[in-house]
Structures are given as C-alpha cells and as structure tokens.
Amino acid sequence: MVTLTAPETTTPIATIDLADSPVRDLNQALHEATDGQSWTVANPGGKHSLAVGIDADISVAINGHAGYYAAGMHKTGTVTISGNAGVGLAENIMSGTVHVKGDVSQSAAATGHGGLVVIDGNAGARCGISMKGVDIVVGGNIGHMSAFMAQAGRLVVCGDAGEALGDSVYEARIYVKGSVASLGADCIEKPMKLEHLDELAGLLAAAGRSEDPADFKRYGSARNLYHFSVHNSASY
C-alpha cells in the first residue's frame, strides 16, 4: 500500500508499509520513481532485497531493520536504514549514498564501483571485498578478510579491524584508527602523507564524523604479487 503525505509547501513523501505490501511492489515503485521524490518504508521487518537497483535521484528512508542485499546495485540517490542490515549491503553499488545507522553483516559493499557507504556501527567479515571504487566509512569495527582483493576506492575504519585485512589488495586505500588483528598477504602499513590526511578528512566529513585524521594509520599494497614470482609462490 502506497500513501502520500506532505504539507503543501514541501515535496510529498510516499510511504510503503511492508506489513501490507510485498517487497516486489516496493522495488517496482522505486524503479518507477522520478528524481527528487522522497520515500519512506515502514515495517521492513528484516525483509531481504529492499530498495535494490535504484536508478533515480530519490531519497529512501527505511525505518527499521533490513535483511540480505539491501540497496544492492544502487546507482544513484540516497538510502538510509534506521536499523541494522544483513549480508551484502549495497553490493555492487555504482554511485549515490547508502547509510546504515546500526550494524551490518558480512560482505558490505562487495564489488562496489563508486558512491559512498556509511555504517555508523560495526561491519562483519569481508567488508569491501573486491572494491572497485566505492568509498566505505565504518564508525565501529570490521571483521576478518575485509578489503580482500580490493582494487580501488577507500575503506575507513574508526574502530578495529579483524584478521587478514587487505589480503591481496591492489590499489585501494585503507585507513584504520584502532588496532589491526593481522594484515593479509601483500598488505603493509604505509606513510600518512598530507594528501592522505586531506583525503581522509574529506571522507570523514562526508560521513558526518568528527574523528581526527591524524589518529589513523594507512594500509595498502606492497605490490609484490602484481606479477608472478617463484620467490612469492607461498603467498598466492
């Protein structure tokens, strides 16, 4: 069921109540939406595949918890989840913004090509695996094997990172404020230069955070695995 509510001087807000409507109807309505519209999703109830494939500059507020693959294949606009999200949040995001005010499960923003993913809480294992240009800012901790084979983009962690951070990373940049349990193959700590401090400050500001960039460390590729070498055979 879709209802419209708004004062006369503002843009109407369309509300879809998932207690009454199936997820298919929600996604179909969002696919037919036009730029500038605002949508509210009530009673999401942890349902899967909410607000996937959005292709218009719209704002979607999900008032509650989301299940697997929320905001997957996100192309533009903003999705805000006022709760937690399950596996595969914003998988293959292309641009736009996805903001989760709670915690997320594993594989957040996997294969993301662009855009910004903000997670106010913690993220599970494999956050940002195979990143291809997406920016991810996590307010809490991240789990093991995060940024595995990350090719491009930036991962910012305001808490701690789990084991094997950045395993087989390419050219993605990783910033961590807290401790790192262990680094993955070919991932090393790198110097924080002025350009990195400026870049990190911009990412933190975009995520609405107030941490000091000087408190972070940067990690990235040692570039030893770009080409096969028998001396590194044990690392492949």
Separate counts of helices (H) and strands (E) for the chain? 2, 12
Say whether pLDDT at 159 is over 80. Answer: yes
Residue 227, CA distances (Å) to 7, 145, 170, 189 in order:
61, 22, 12, 21
In this prediction, residue 8 has a pLDDT band, given cuts at 50, 70 and 90, of very low
**Farthest CA pair distance, the chain:** 70
pTM greater than 0.75:
yes
- The percentage of residues in the chain with a pLDDT greater than 70, rounded to a whole number, is 91
Question: 181, 203 in Cβ contact below 8 A?
Answer: no
Q: Is the pLDDT of residue 233 over 80?
A: no
- Confidence band (pLDDT; 50, 70, 90) for 11? low
**Average pLDDT over the chain, rounded to an integer:** 93
d(CA 158, CA 209): 9
pLDDT category, 225, cuts 50, 70, 90? confident
10 vs 236: CA distance, rounded Å: 57
For β-strands 217-221 and 187-190, DSSP reports them as antiparallel
From CA 39, how far away is CA 14, in angstroms rounded? 5
H helix runs in 173-225, sequence order: 194-206
Q: What is the reported pLDDT for 9?
A: 39
User: Coil, helix or strand for 197?
Assistant: helix
Phi/psi of residue 205, each to 5°?
Answer: -65, -40
pLDDT at 226 over 80: no
Q: How far is CA 21 from CA 14, 75, 141, 162, in A?
A: 13, 24, 35, 39
The H or E element that residue 12 is part of is none
